[in-house]
Amino acid sequence: MSFDIDLSILILEVMILKIRTPKATKSARIISSVRASMAIEGLKPSLYAQTIGKQYLDGKISSREAVARIKENHASKFGR
């Protein structure tokens, strides 16, 4: 599975959880779910990716902006 596919699946999962989860516990539950999904895949989010994810969950940036920033930051590790 490529980095793009993994990232797309995680973004979709976050978007679904963002809609379905009660607002009071939304961020904590989404973060927990994403970490669990990544752990199953053998992945660990970088501190940078976690920071960007939090900005997205707080509504400060769009999902497209979050993906673009994470890809840009990690592009050298996965090829451009």
- How many Cα atoms are found within 13 Å in the side-chain-facing hemisphere of 55? 16
- Give the residue ranges of DSSP H helices in 1-80: 3-20, 26-40, 47-57, 63-78
Q: Are 34 and 21 in contact (CB under 8 A)?
A: no
The whole-model pTM stands at 0.61
Write the pLDDT tens digit of every residue in 2-36: 555 567 777 777 777 767 666 556 778 888 888 88
What tokens appear for 38 in the block?
């990544």
- How many Cα atoms are found within 13 Å in the side-chain-facing hemisphere of 39? 6
Write the pLDDT tens digit of every residue in 37-78: 888 888 888 888 888 888 888 889 998 998 899 888 877 665
Domain boundaries, the chain: 3-78
Q: Are 37 and 10 in contact (CB under 8 A)?
A: yes
**Confidence (pLDDT) at 79:** 57
Label residue 1 by pLDDT band (50, 70, 90): very low
